Structure 1
Amino acid sequence: MNLTELATQYEDKTAIAMENSGATLTYRELEERSNQIAHLFRSRGLGPGDHIAVLMKNQLEVFPVVWAAQRSGLFYTPVNWHLSTAEASYIVANCGARMLIHSESLGELAAAAEAASPALNSRLVVGGDLDEVESLEIAISQLPTTPISDESEGYYMLYSSGTTGRPKGILPTLTGESFGAGLGIDHLVGSEFGFGSDTVYLSPGPLYHAAPLGWTMGTVRNGGTAVVMKRFDAEQALQLIDEFAVTHAQFVPTMFVRMLKLPRATRNRYDISSLRLAVHAAAPCAVEVKERMIDWFGPILTEFYSGSEGTGFFMIDTPDWLGHRGSVGRAVLGVVHVCDDDGNELEPGEVGTIWFGDVQRFEYLGDDAKTAEAFNDKGWNTLGDLGHVDEDGFLYLSARRSDLILSGGVNIYPQEIEDALILHPAVEDVAVMGQPDDEMGQRVHAIVQPSPDATAGPELEQELIEHCRANLAHFKAPRSITFGEVPRLPSGKILRRDLIGITAAPGAAEH
């Protein structure tokens, strides 16, 4: 898993390909450019355990930078460039980055982050020129293409998505191992997901998230080729599977929905028979959506459930899922415990807070209180999710605790209502939340993004409410609907903190 050895073995084989642009990096090119950047890090005083921040769009230049950090023993933090200026600046400052490397098109955001980050002493731009900003290409042009003398494994330091509040930095522990040992995910994609030298992996997600970045690097560690999309487009994803004979791909449920809503003639235009594995994660997937994807792709879907914290990891393949519909699988890493609010472990079938035992500790950088909340006195960790296990040990998710709707003393899980609405032909996207109610405590409210050919208004609102009543218990059906765009991160997660402004918009009807 040492890139130098991989480059010697594979030479001009494509390691990374960007969509249909024709831009590629061979193993040899990735090796040489990442070595030059590693020498740059050392020349600027960056040693093992130091931090850099990467503020870049999905582009080829990301990969030499992150591989250089990985082989230099650095922490590297990919920054979500969709965040506000204040949020992105907070992350760069909070992680203690000493160097910021960014896309030319994100110069304004990078300048703001630089101004807010006292530890930062270098800022470099890739993919273009900016006045008074050092060019990475020029900075490394005269540096060696051979490895630095003190290579060791680095680690990506990620931030939580911040869907309900300020993002939290998840500080892992450096292994101290020599470069080539690999990270856990590198071995996992090989042993559990079948990645190897014949793998062609399609990565449609943003590289500032854990799975798209980690799995793309894991593809290279295992000798395969990664095809990276600049942004997800349903038809283009099918076209790339056809063009590159993709063997492995990773999606989030909203991507499945968008592909399923393509016209049948469009879906049938592309050959997807090369696919051996379609992985999905990041958000719960409606049972009907998954059933329809299995009917289309075949029994090749594997789901995993985990968090950026890297504690528990669950997975389930298609045969097991068909016998346990709705489950996210059994534990591969960690031991699952479902507990009530007093910490008592519950029986199978009972819903409670999901805890992971036998895990490696982590910390939320600079936030001792949040770190303490994430662990109990037994050393178990929770991500704040609710769910249950069945008699066979399969885990089922219900909701984030913060998303739970308590109406008239009854727990209502938004995901169940979202699942009932998402495949309705008039619904492009949907999010469900609780709103204050004088009588019931909370009532169910839906935010619906109508399909392009649907007309938002009272008639559609009543149709969707009746649709829910026909498919769910009446008390779970929305009492009101607001029509508007559902705020989501590119990872597919609903940006819950932005929903309040939508529900407060004028003209929301109530029933």
Structure 2
Amino acid sequence: MTATGLWNIAADLPDHPAVVDPDGTVVTYRELADRANRFGRGLQARGLEPGDTIVMALPNSADLLALYFAVLQTGLYVVPVNWHLVGPEVAYIIEDSGAKVFVAHSRFTGMAVEAGRDVDAKFSVGEIPGFRPLDELGEGSGRPDVRTAGAPMVYTSGTTGRPKGVRRPLTGANPDEVPAASMWFFGIFGIKPFDDHVHICGSPLYHTAVLNFAGISIQMGHTVVLMEKWDPEEMLRLIQEHRVTHSHMVPTQFHRLLALPEPVRSQYDVSSLRVMIHGAAPCPIETKRRMLDWWGPVVVEYYAATEGGGTSITAEEWLRKPGSAGKAWPGSVVRVLDEDGNDMPVGEPGLVYMKMGASTFEYHKDKAKTLAARVGDLFTLGDIGYLDADGYLYLCDRKSDMIISGGVNIYPAEIEGELAVHPKVADIAVFGLPHPDWGEEIKAVVQPAPGVTPDDALTSELLEFARSRLAKFKLPRTIDYVDELPRDPNGKLYKRKLRDAYLS
């Protein structure tokens, strides 16, 4: 039996496809391992030692994954930054993380030049003034001299205040061995090593879950098909061409897939799909049902965090418990607490707290934030939810997004989920604005579907639709329209930007 792990597979099955780049170039396991070895040697030749940090701003590519694996075998931390950030934002992350090397793509030249001013060792894919070509990072052949397991250090999105890095202690493990937690995590979804698996990655690899899924897939002998920019029909085409078996997705992508005309959807063969995993945000119940009707019982949901712990639910369970994010993983604890740290009764919403075994983490250079998110050894992401009598978790919304109107708690995610399924709505955001009598009023901002005119008639139609599905106190007071909502490519909505525009 072939051993798992990038370097073991490279030795046993050197010509097995590891990565299909967005331009269609196939990179074998041997080629990916050789590139990771070269980068690892180059980093050590520049004096980096276990515990040091590098920052990378790269699009989805084999180069990004090779650099990631270079770090995983040399005991370093790697910070994959959101390349939609501007120069000062990335400069803050470089400084805060203590990065000694910055790697960027020429596509982001303006940001990279501004962000990397104070970094001595800078490398680029393509030409960036003041940066050396990435190909110059390492020469010769063979593995790096010092090999010990490194780790990603991911920064929170910074929707409130400065982003903070989630940093875990290094394990000192042998990088040739796939961490048991990785094998266990994929096992939750029934994904085995090899087994003709093909993973498709349509979201940016700077997201924690996206990088984890791609990295673990490679460690388990699966081919990873990379998309440079997610497009619904292109994803269907790649699923058919490469016989894709699994992926990590977000509800926004489901919504856009379902918006394709039926003749377009039906022309692609998706019978190879085995488990399409989604998370990151609550999925509207009707959207989930339509995906299950189309793809079958391969749509699996989970709720988890960079910091550790989570839940999952199969398609069969979800049909019994529609709207649930599932039960706690084996070894994970999920509790719903009030403001004083007491357990909420069954069915009563509160803050969702989690932990995973004895896993520990800290927000880099921010002990106060670390402690504020904890109750004992449990932590919270600030999500509000409740547990049913069988221990299944139902998510309501982020605490920071909750609207309090007339003393009543209102969850925008519920309103968004109902209106998102209207055929004339391409995207929607709901949030609260100050109101002199009620405390807050409900504002909806809608991105109309292509060809739909944003006028009073549409507002009337949407409000009438909402009245048939929501209580009166949950109805938006006003609806505005925009050409496009501010989302990142993984579907995360920057609601604060919308709200701040009204407040200013």
TM-score bucket (shorter structure) = over 0.9
The amino acid of 2:44's aligned partner reads R
Q: How many Å apart are 1:66 and its aligned residue?
A: 0.8
The amino acid of 2:27's aligned partner reads L
* Contact 2:50–2:74 (CA under 8 A) maintained in structure 1: yes
* Contact 1:302–1:317 (CA under 8 A) maintained in structure 2: yes
**Structure 2 match to 1:350:** 348
The equivalences for 1:30-429 within 5 A come to 30-115=32-117, 117=118, 120-126=119-125, 128-140=126-138, 142-144=139-141, 146-183=142-179, 186-193=182-189, 194-197=191-194, 198-309=196-307, 311-332=308-329, 333-357=331-355, 358-376=357-375, 378-429=376-427
Q: How many Å apart are 1:37 and its aligned residue?
A: 0.7
* Contact 2:310–2:354 (CA under 8 A) maintained in structure 1: no
* Contact 1:12–1:27 (CA under 8 A) maintained in structure 2: yes
Distance 1:359 1:456, change over 3 A: farther
The amino acid of 2:72's aligned partner reads Q
Q: How many Å apart are 1:162 and its aligned residue?
A: 2.1
The amino acid of 1:303's aligned partner reads E
Q: How many Å apart are 1:133 and its aligned residue?
A: 1.9
Q: Does 1:17 align with 2:20?
A: yes
* Contact 1:196–1:224 (CA under 8 A) maintained in structure 2: yes
Q: Secondary structure in 1 aligned to 2:137?
A: helix
Moved more, 262-271 or 336-345: 336-345
Moved more, 178-187 or 237-246: 178-187
Moved more, 237-246 or 192-201: 192-201
Q: Does 1:6 align with 2:9?
A: yes
Q: How many Å apart are 1:30 and its aligned residue?
A: 0.6
Q: How many Å apart are 1:289 and its aligned residue?
A: 0.4
Q: Secondary structure in 2 aligned to 1:353?
A: strand
**Structure 2 match to 1:508:** none
Moved more, 360-369 or 409-418: 360-369
Q: How many Å apart are 1:221 and its aligned residue?
A: 0.5
The amino acid of 1:7's aligned partner reads A
Question: If the length of structure 1 is used for normalisation, what is the TM-score?
Answer: 0.94
**Structure 2 match to 1:474:** 472
Moved more, 184-193 or 43-52: 184-193
Partners of 1:219 and 1:268 lie apart in 2 by 28
Q: How many Å apart are 1:361 and its aligned residue?
A: 2.4
**Structure 2 match to 1:497:** 496
Question: If the length of structure 2 is used for normalisation, what is the TM-score?
Answer: 0.95
Partners of 1:499 and 1:359 lie apart in 2 by 39
The amino acid of 1:321's aligned partner reads W
RMSD: 1.5
The amino acid of 1:273's aligned partner reads S
Q: How many Å apart are 1:121 and its aligned residue?
A: 2.7
**Deviation digits for residues 99-119 of structure 1 (CA, Å, limit 9, x no counterpart):** 00111222221121112x4xx
* Contact 2:310–2:334 (CA under 8 A) maintained in structure 1: no
Q: How many Å apart are 1:131 and its aligned residue?
A: 3.9
Partners of 1:302 and 1:13 lie apart in 2 by 28
* Contact 1:16–1:228 (CA under 8 A) maintained in structure 2: yes
Q: How many Å apart are 1:489 and its aligned residue?
A: 1.8
Which segments of 5 or more consecutive residues in structure 2 lack a partner in the other structure? none
Partners of 2:260 and 2:180 lie apart in 1 by 36
Partners of 1:186 and 1:243 lie apart in 2 by 27
Distance 1:2 1:107, change over 3 A: same
Partners of 2:313 and 2:256 lie apart in 1 by 23
The amino acid of 1:370's aligned partner reads K
* Contact 1:186–1:217 (CA under 8 A) maintained in structure 2: no
* Contact 1:54–1:79 (CA under 8 A) maintained in structure 2: yes
Q: How many Å apart are 1:481 and its aligned residue?
A: 1.0
Q: How many Å apart are 1:504 and its aligned residue?
A: 5.7
Q: Secondary structure in 2 aligned to 1:61?
A: helix
Q: Secondary structure in 2 aligned to 1:433?
A: strand
Q: How many Å apart are 1:189 and its aligned residue?
A: 4.3
Q: How many Å apart are 1:379 and its aligned residue?
A: 1.9
Q: Does 1:461 align with 2:450?
A: no
Q: Secondary structure in 1 aligned to 2:348?
A: coil
Moved more, 171-180 or 188-197: 188-197
Q: How many Å apart are 1:359 and its aligned residue?
A: 4.7
* Contact 1:201–1:219 (CA under 8 A) maintained in structure 2: yes
The amino acid of 2:380's aligned partner reads T
Moved more, 432-441 or 193-202: 193-202
Q: How many Å apart are 1:152 and its aligned residue?
A: 1.0
Distance 1:78 1:453, change over 3 A: same
Q: Secondary structure in 1 aligned to 2:15?
A: coil
Partners of 2:351 and 2:418 lie apart in 1 by 24
Q: How many Å apart are 1:426 and its aligned residue?
A: 1.1
* Contact 2:384–2:399 (CA under 8 A) maintained in structure 1: yes
Q: Secondary structure in 2 aligned to 1:58?
A: coil
Q: How many Å apart are 1:178 and its aligned residue?
A: 1.2
Q: Secondary structure in 1 aligned to 2:381?
A: coil
* Contact 2:43–2:137 (CA under 8 A) maintained in structure 1: no
**Deviation digits for residues 98-155 of structure 1 (CA, Å, limit 9, x no counterpart):** 000111222221121112x4xx3300112x2334421121333x332x1123211111
* Contact 2:75–2:148 (CA under 8 A) maintained in structure 1: yes
Distance 1:498 1:359, change over 3 A: farther
* Contact 2:431–2:499 (CA under 8 A) maintained in structure 1: no
Partners of 1:394 and 1:368 lie apart in 2 by 32
Distance 1:80 1:404, change over 3 A: same
